[in-house]
Amino acid sequence: MGCQWSPSRSLAVTDSGDEFPGFTRRFTRETRLRWLLGGGAGGTWPARGVGSTGYPPGVGIGGCRGIRVRQHRRMKHRIPLPQHLGHAFSVKRAEAAGIRPGRHSTPDLHRPFRGVRSVEKPKAFNDFVNCYAPRLKPGHRFGGITAARDWGLPLPTAWTMTEPIDVVAPSSGTPPKARGVRGHRLREDRAETRILKGHPVVDPVAALFMCAGNLTVTQAVIMLDALLTTASNYPELGPGRPLSTRDEITRRLDEWGRFPGSGTIRASLPLACERVESPKETETRLLLVDSGLPEPIVQHEVWADGRMLGRCDLAYPELRIAFEYEGDGHRTEKEQWRKDIQRQRYLEGEGWIVIRLTQADLDKPEMLIASIRRAMSAPRSSPPAAGENSFRGFRA
């Protein structure tokens, strides 16, 4: 009996002995499995027993050593990719670097977009943007929701992996059409091209205008506050403060004319503020105004005896009422939590009422508004006399 590999990658076993004259059987995966389990090949060979090799008669372990080695497809050696390709690259660039289709089509590379390969599977928003960037054609840039997220503008919806990438083409060009991509046309003079995180995007004002058709007035004011803020600690906002100015946005509105959501932006711009430090401050401020309460002062500083006791998110200074929105960072960051407690103690020592609120209060604001109205109508205690320390019973 002999063993040889057939062109179909299965082993042909031929027995010319007296016991099995002229026997020929294709040594398939199923046959090999039956041998290894001791059942023989379709009952032809005896069951595997003690002292048996488990292979056909006349075939020893040494004679069919290649059977066990070759029952799995041979592992192919992966050619290392050039480092200059990076973690994500286009197929055209790979082929220009000498990488053949057999290499850039191997299973170890991911295919987030057509014509793009990535070493690691993209999971976050920035990963998908970086994966698509090599596919951008000359004159194309990221716009719409993708550009707004790239700039860190507070959009009303959280990012998901199913959200398409918005790509803007010139008005004379052809927008891209591919799975996971949403193409747009935009005149070149309607948006400046900025390089952000290494790839081209439209300017933040144009990004806002492209998203305006799906925004409410409150959502538009939140994004406008982010554009206008001068605060360096606004969470996740892109570089540069402010990202824009009220005059620039007004000028751009006149240049763009009518577009989806233009009325929303025009109605929202007078409600925007320049010194907001978080989206929830804007949401709280608009909630108070919509509830019929006076508009609070943003980022009001409280001083006593030449010392700043604290800066309130929102405040009614004449009533000495301060509002503090408590996000998760106030709860999880030790230093922030300690400063919040200390600031509240100082303010209350000066006769202030500190109203702390969370997302639960914004979701169901009835109780919050009622407590604010009670605080506004409550008798006011006089502040400590000049020279008296905020800690009662002690004097400076």
- Does 184 lie in the same domain as 97? yes
- Does 118 lie in the same domain as 65? no
Q: What per-residue confidence (pLDDT) applies to 342?
A: 92
Total H helices, total E strands in the chain: 15, 14
d(CA 67, CA 389): 90
- Does 58 lie in the same domain as 90? no
255 in a structural domain:
no
**β-strand 297-304 against 199-202: which pairing, if any?**
unpaired
- Does 291 lie in the same domain as 337? yes
389 in a structural domain:
no
The total domain count for the chain is 3
Could you list the residue range(s) of the whole structural domain that residue 355 is in?
A: 279-377
216 in a structural domain:
no
Which is nearest to 297 in space by CA: 279, 275, 280? 275
Peptide bond into 242 cis (omega under 30): yes
d(CA 54, CA 56): 7
pTM recorded for the entire structure: 0.76
Q: Are 94 and 106 in contact (CB under 8 A)?
A: no
Which of 48, 70, 92 terminates a domain? The answer is 70
Q: CATH code at 366?
A: 3.40.960.10
27 in a structural domain:
yes
What average pLDDT values come out for the chain (396 residues) when binned by 10 residues?
Answer: 47 46 50 55 47 49 48 60 92 93 92 95 97 96 98 97 97 94 95 97 98 98 98 94 97 97 98 96 98 97 93 96 85 82 93 96 97 92 54 32
Residue 140's contacts (CB-CB under 8 Å, 6 or more residues apart) are 167, 168, 169, 173, 176, 200
Q: What per-residue confidence (pLDDT) applies to 37?
A: 55
